[in-house]
């Protein structure tokens, strides 16, 4: 029985309480809670046998699969620090990420073995890499076999604490990813259901509550649609596991709404979790195009988090799936879940304010009517891994409490609610993925025909925003065609960061101080 809010302790409590209940349903495997715990225990022992220990970081470089969750749980068992890897990253992005995280172990899909051989020599802290068979047939030389590691006999006990750390990597204002350090206890309450947003029993009070909720709660089936390397999917999945739910994993390589509904119907999914309009619109369109094709009467909730979820799309889904409630959770990697969003007549959405959620203006609390940045205290991260400068910018002590300040602009209203207006910085949110202009600008300027560049978001009904590049030509160089330029950029950037359009102008407008004029850039992008 768990005596502290450590995720490994809590998961083991659930596994002991409902051992025969199905924890994971996937095409590749079906695992009970007892089986999932045993596999994670063996993997933990295998990692420990190769020198991975308390405080070491473990990269999860995988597509959706049971192995992703096994790896996550195994790392927490030995007090190590699991973290997400965006599988769309190119070699240079991976080199930075693995080095920044001081990676001790990398668990990767076999399909990524070629790029792993390329970057592995540039990760001096690496103790081992482990390849998970994914039926790709890729040569996995240089990495241990995941199945062999699972043959390790369970060991332990291992030292653990509720202040052990998880890392969630998100984009940074410099364009490079930043590792948000979440203590287990804070993660539980801010991200993984401990606050009781959807549980009639309310917030978790003591660790023993986890066993009671698993034993006596309704054994629902949850299907997270986002890849597990996305924070929204991990939050939803851990909320499900700590309540003894069944997690349905879609192991498809790409998002296909018709396939999603095939799975929902086949598995009898009750809770379907996705990320904003980029997923919601194709789901809605599939339902409209195929009336009566699927029996979705098992679905009781369609829930979004991590990106804008438009009211008209919510209304459409409610009409198409009348058995389901429609929920819209707001949160960031730095703050956790900020609460359930309400429609806003002028902003993106409205959120509740409280003692733990306020609007901050110039390191003070906003007065009614003032606009600043939405911030949370209490169960928050403790900073960015290895980045004290960015930590000091985002995590600030105000009136004796540590506040995590998001990049979301908000206004404190007279009724105590917060109207959110979207990202308060230059960050572009495209389909739930955050793209920071500086990194894309650097890649654009690397082309010999481009003298200067600025990047902005353009409103888009499906994706929320499209990435638009605005560039000026270098004298004496031939301007590349669109296909050639796209190929150049895809060698340097993940696909979602590559501009959907590149606009050529005589000169990129800059401020007197030499900085790009992002207001001008957005105007140009909007008119394109």
Highest mean pLDDT among 195-199, 400-404, 509-513: 400-404
Q: What is the mean pLDDT of residues 496-523?
A: 82
Q: What pLDDT, on a 0 to 100 scale, did the predictor assign at position 126?
A: 98
Q: Is the pLDDT of residue 172 over 70?
A: no
Q: What pLDDT, on a 0 to 100 scale, did the predictor assign at position 327?
A: 92
Q: What is the mean pLDDT of residues 376-392?
A: 93
Beta pairing class for 464-473 and 128-132: unpaired
Q: Give me the helix-helix angle, 66-77 and 33-49, nearest 10°.
A: 60
Q: What is the mean pLDDT of residues 331-354?
A: 82
Q: What is the mean pLDDT of residues 470-485?
A: 92
Q: Write the DSSP symbol of residue 506.
A: S
Confidence band, pLDDT 50/70/90 cuts, at residue 173: very low
Residue ranges matching CATH 3.30.300.30 in the chain: 428-527
Q: Is the pLDDT of residue 445 over 90?
A: no
Residue ranges matching CATH 3.40.50.12780 in the chain: 7-253
Assigned fold of 344-423: Luciferase; domain 3 (2.30.38)
**Cβ atoms of residues 457 and 430 within 8 Å:** yes
Q: What pLDDT, on a 0 to 100 scale, did the predictor assign at position 482?
A: 93
Provide the token pair at 328: 């819209």
**Cβ atoms of residues 241 and 217 within 8 Å:** no
**Cβ atoms of residues 485 and 493 within 8 Å:** no
Provide the token pair at 509: 């407008």
Q: What is the mean pLDDT of residues 102-109?
A: 98
Q: Write the DSSP symbol of residue 481.
A: P
Q: What are phi and psi of 444, to 5 degrees?
A: -65, -45
In b/e form, how buried is each residue of 324-340, taking b as 16+ CB within 10 angstroms?
bebbbbbbbbbbbbbbb
Residue that the structure tokens 């969750």 belong to: 69
Q: What is the mean pLDDT of residues 206-213?
A: 92
Highest mean pLDDT among 427-431, 436-440, 522-526: 522-526
Q: What pLDDT, on a 0 to 100 scale, did the predictor assign at position 512?
A: 45
Confidence band, pLDDT 50/70/90 cuts, at residue 220: very high
Q: Is the pLDDT of residue 174 over 90?
A: no
**Cβ atoms of residues 178 and 443 within 8 Å:** no
- Using DSSP, state whether 281 is helix, strand or coil: helix
Q: What pLDDT, on a 0 to 100 scale, did the predictor assign at position 308?
A: 66
Beta pairing class for 325-332 and 301-305: parallel
Q: What pLDDT, on a 0 to 100 scale, did the predictor assign at position 198?
A: 65
Assigned fold of 7-253: Rossmann fold (3.40.50)
- Close Cβ partners of 342 (under 8 Å, ≥ 6 residues apart): 349, 350, 351, 417
In b/e form, how buried is each residue of 149-182, taking b as 16+ CB within 10 angstroms?
bbebeeeeebebebebbbbbbbbbbebbbbbbbb
| Cα–Cα distance measured from residue 149 to residue 409, given in angstroms and rounded to the nearest whole number | 47
| Cα–Cα distance measured from residue 428 to residue 34, given in angstroms and rounded to the nearest whole number | 42
Question: Of 117-131, 277-291, 508-522, which range is least confident?
Answer: 508-522
Q: Mean pLDDT of all residues in the chain? A: 91
- Using DSSP, state whether 442 is helix, strand or coil: helix
The CB density around residue 51, as the number of other CB atoms within 10 Å, is 11
Higher pLDDT residue, 21 or 231?
Answer: 21
Residue ranges matching CATH 2.30.38.10 in the chain: 344-423
The reported pTM is: 0.83
Beta pairing class for 246-248 and 22-25: parallel
Confidence band, pLDDT 50/70/90 cuts, at residue 177: confident
**Cβ atoms of residues 331 and 341 within 8 Å:** no
Q: What pLDDT, on a 0 to 100 scale, did the predictor assign at position 26?
A: 97
In the chain, what's the furthest Cα-to-Cα distance?
Answer: 73
Per-residue model confidence as pLDDT tens digits over 110-132: 999 999 999 999 999 999 999 99
Provide the token pair at 375: 């911030």
Confidence band, pLDDT 50/70/90 cuts, at residue 385: very high
Q: Is the pLDDT of residue 21 over 60?
A: yes
202 CA to centre of own chain: 25
**Cβ atoms of residues 278 and 307 within 8 Å:** yes
CATH class of the structural domain 428-527: alpha beta
């Amino acid at each position: 029985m768990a005596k502290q809010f450590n995720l490994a302790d809590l998961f083991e409590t659930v596994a002991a309480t409902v051992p025969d209940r199905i924890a994971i349903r996937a095409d590749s495997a079906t695992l009970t809670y007892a089986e999932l715990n045993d596999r994670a225990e063996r993997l933990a022992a295998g990692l420990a046998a190769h020198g991975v220990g308390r405080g070491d970081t473990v990269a999860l470089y995988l597509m959706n699969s049971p192995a992703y969750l096994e790896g996550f749980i195994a790392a927490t068992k030995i007090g190590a620090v699991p973290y997400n890897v965006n599988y769309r990253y190119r070699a240079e992005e991976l080199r930075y990420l693995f080095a920044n995280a001081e990676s001790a172990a990398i668990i990767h899909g076999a399909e990524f073995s070629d790029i792993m051989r390329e970057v592995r020599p540039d990760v001096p802290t690496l103790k081992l890499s482990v390849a998970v068979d994914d039926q790709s047939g890729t040569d996995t030389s240089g990495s241990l076999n995941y199945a062999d590691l699972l043959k390790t006999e369970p060991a332990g006990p291992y030292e653990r604490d509720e202040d052990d750390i998880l890392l969630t990597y998100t984009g940074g204002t410099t364009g490079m990813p930043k590792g948000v350090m979440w203590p287990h206890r804070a993660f539980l309450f801010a991200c993984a259901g401990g606050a009781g947003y959807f549980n009639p029993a309310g917030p978790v009070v003591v660790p023993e509550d986890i066993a009671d909720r698993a034993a006596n709660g309704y054994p629902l089936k949850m299907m997270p649609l986002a890849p597990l390397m996305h924070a929204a999917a991990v939050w939803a999945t851990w909320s499900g596991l700590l309540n003894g739910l069944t997690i349905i994993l879609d192991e498809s390589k790409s998002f296909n709404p018709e396939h999603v509904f095939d799975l929902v119907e086949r598995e009898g999914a009750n809770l379907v979790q996705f990320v904003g309009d980029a997923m919601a619109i194709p789901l809605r369109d599939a339902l409209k195009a195929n009336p009566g094709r699927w029996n979705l009467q098992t679905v009781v909730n369609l829930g979004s988090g991590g990106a804008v979820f438009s009211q008209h799309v919510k209304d459409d889904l409610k009409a198409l799936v009348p058995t389901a409630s429609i929920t819209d959770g707001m949160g960031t990697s730095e703050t956790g879940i900020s609460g359930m969003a309400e429609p806003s007549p002028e902003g993106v959405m409205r959120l509740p304010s409280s003692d733990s959620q306020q609007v901050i203006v110039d390191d003070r609390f906003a007065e009614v009517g003032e606009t600043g940045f939405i911030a949370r205290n209490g169960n928050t991260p403790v900073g960015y891994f290895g980045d004290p400068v960015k930590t000091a910018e985002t995590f600030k002590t105000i009136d004796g409490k540590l506040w995590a300040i998001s990049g979301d602009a908000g206004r404190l209203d007279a009724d105590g609610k917060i109207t959110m207006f979207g990202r308060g910085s230059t960050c572009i949110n495209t389909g739930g993925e955050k793209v920071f202009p500086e990194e894309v600008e650097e890649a654009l300027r690397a082309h010999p025909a481009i003298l200067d560049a600025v990047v902005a978001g353009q409103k888009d009904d499906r994706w929320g925003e499209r990435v638009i590049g605005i560039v000026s030509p270098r004298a004496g160089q031939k301007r590349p065609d669109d296909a050639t330029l796209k190929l150049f950029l895809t060698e340097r950037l993940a696909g979602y960061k590559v501009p959907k359009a590149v606009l050529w102008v005589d000169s990129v407008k800059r401020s007197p101080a030499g900085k790009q004029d992002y207001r001008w850039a957005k105007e140009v992008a909007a008119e394109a």
